[in-house]
Amino acid sequence: MHSLIPVVLSGGSGTRLWPLSREKYPKQLLPLIGDDSLLQATVRRVEGLAGVKLGAPMVVCNEEYRFVIAEQLRLMGQQGAILLEPFGRNTAPALTLAALAAMRDGDDPILLVMPSDHVILDTPAFQAVVRQGAALADEGAVVTFGITPDSPETGYGYIQSGTPFGECGARSIARFVEKPDLATAQAYLDEGTYFWNSGLFMMRASVWLSAIDTCRDDILTACRAAWEQGSCDGEFLRVDKDAFALCPKDSIDYAVMERIAAGEGALPSGVVIPLAAGWSDVGAWDALWEVLPKDGEGNVAQGDVLLYDCKNTLVMAEGRLVACIGVEDLIVVETPDAILVAHKSNTQDVKKIVDHLKREGRAEGQLHRKVFRPWGSYDGVDAGERFLVKRIIVNPGACLSLQMHHHRAEHWIVVRGTAKVTRDGKSYLVSENESTFIPLGTQHRLENPGRLPLEMIEVQSGSYLGEDDIVRFEDAYGR
């Protein structure tokens, strides 16, 4: 059997899980269930997969997330490839780039395509169907996994299964169906041959490239040009921005799977395998409530939370005490810069709040108060007229760019660790409980030469304190 490469698609923003999920720090990067982020849990889901030669994972993601994803993989001990998309072009181009990258050394591995933001609670059951799918994919089939439905869900697409295929419970694909209304969804549930569309796929890399060539040769042409004109930037695989800009947008379902289901000639066989493994796409807060452990009254409480006489309620507190009394079917989410209160039946409308924030140009729609950077993170602790206070964490061995500001000066106080400061070409160390001053217009750099995180308080003062007041002269991260 060919080797298997997990391909993790990490392009979504998850706006319906605001305020935990933000445009520049989406839900797949968050530890919503357990200690792992959803992306880490997706990669870990195939660890120890028996009977299959498992290759290193490949993550296809937006450039915005590259350093956070690299750090999350590093913390897991994973050394997988990170393939960067300059723009989002939906899942068909993302998979096409992954297939081209997987075959760059002349191999033809089986690709296990997984969205990075789904939950699967029963890993052994998932691995069992993956082994079944790998055998079929190795023989040239395109395999998808259909979630056994337990309710007339209107938020998912459906796959209608056809005749049996092989001996493992797999069936041919009769058709893909868009999200139905409630009556149609109930009819699908009663009929018994329909499954929820999981967005999980398996096929050999060459099989996908042949199928996309047959169905959407314009996508393959643009992706091949972007790949061939791309470059390797350390652990990142970069495709050519101008070439990829010409690539049309399309999903795996629309571009290929619907035409396979229609039985068009010169395309591989399409197979659906039933999957009952506690799957959820956690597309909204009510879906997350469904999969999290609950108390005897159906409540989920995370963080500093007090509940009295509450039922079927989810409360998450990141920084402050949240107390609820006598409420039912509510979602309450507290973060340092925003609080959401919603009825569970209205959680799909959270996106309307995010859209409003974008129209108003408010940062709460895009960023958390704590912002991650390739060198560490900063947290905006306080702000007022002509001043801004940040808590800065610099990872061991990391450094910020050599930079200068036109409109602000900075005061740095070291709380923990030792800072190496470069100011106008001269370097010196600043230890715990010491401080230094960076005047306006001064070239400077901050580094952590130690083995432990460097923690600092930065006080900015000046006429303009925006993040775009940075002139970079040197940068280890290519910004």
Same domain, 324 and 299: yes
The DSSP result for 151-165, as a single string, is: S--SSS-EEEEEEE-
Contact by Cβ (8 Å): 112, 7: yes
Whether residues 319 and 443 share a domain: the answer is no
What does the alpha-carbon distance between residue 282 and residue 289 come to, in Å, rounded to a whole number?
9
- Say how many residues make up the chain: 479
Dihedral, CA atoms, 255, 260, 265, 267, nearest 10 degrees?
80
Domain identity same for 203 and 226: yes
pLDDT at 371 over 90: no
Considering the domain architecture, whether residues 320 and 381 belong to the same structural domain is answered as no
Asked whether residue 327 falls in the same domain as residue 181, the answer is no
pLDDT at 14 over 90: no
Q: Is 473 exposed, middle or buried (0-12, 13-18, 19+ CB in 10 A)?
A: exposed
Residue 288 within any structural domain of the chain: no
Name the nearest CA neighbour of 61 among 33, 98, 102: 98
77: number of Cβ within 10 Å: 6
User: Would you give the DSSP letter of residue 266?
Assistant: T
Q: Which residues are CB-contacts of 174 (< 8 A; sequence separation ≥ 6)?
A: 160, 161, 162, 193, 261
pLDDT at 372: 85
Q: Is 434 among the domain residues? A: yes
Domain holding 223, by residue range, is: 4-280
Q: 462 and 385 in one domain? A: yes
Domain harbouring 467, CATH code: 2.60.120.10
- Whether 312 maps to a domain, the answer reads yes
Tell me the two tokens of residue 166.
């092989």
Output the average pLDDT for the chain: 93
pLDDT digits over 43-76, tens only?
A: 999 999 988 899 999 999 988 888 889 889 988 9
Average pLDDT score over residue span 35-47: 95
Strands 81-85 and 58-62: parallel
The pLDDT tens digits for 421-457 are 999 999 999 999 999 999 999 999 999 999 999 999 9
Q: Are residues 115 and 260 in the same domain?
A: yes
The residues pairing with 459 across neighbouring beta strands, listed in sequence order, are 389, 411
> Interhelix angle for 205-215 vs 91-102, to 10°?
140
For the entire predicted model, the pTM comes to 0.89
CA 407 – CA 400 distance, rounded (Å)? 19
Do 418 and 395 share a domain, yes or no?
yes
Asked if residue 149 and residue 53 are part of one domain, the reply reads: yes
**Total count of domains within the chain:** 3
Q: Over the range 4-20, which residues count as b (16 or more CB within 10 Å of their CB) and which as e?
A: bbbbbbbbbbbbbbbbb
pLDDT digits (tens, 9 = 90+) for 315-326: 999 989 999 999
Please tell me which of 78-82, 171-175, 282-286, 408-412 the model is most confident about, judged by mean pLDDT: 408-412
CA distances from 476 to 257, 393, 397 (A): 42, 17, 12
Please identify, among 358, 387, 414, the residue that sits at the C-terminal boundary of a domain.
Answer: 358
Nearest to 230 by CA among 213, 249, 243: 243
Give domain status of residue 364, yes or no: no
Residue among 177, 65, 54 at smallest CA distance from 116? 65
Structural domain includes residue 365: no
| Alpha carbon distances (Å) from 411 to 87, 408, 418, 447, 461 | 37, 10, 15, 15, 8
pLDDT-based confidence at residue 363 (cuts at 50, 70, 90): confident
Q: Are residues 141 and 210 in the same domain?
A: yes
Strands 236-238 and 142-147: unpaired
- Does residue 356 have a pLDDT over 80? yes
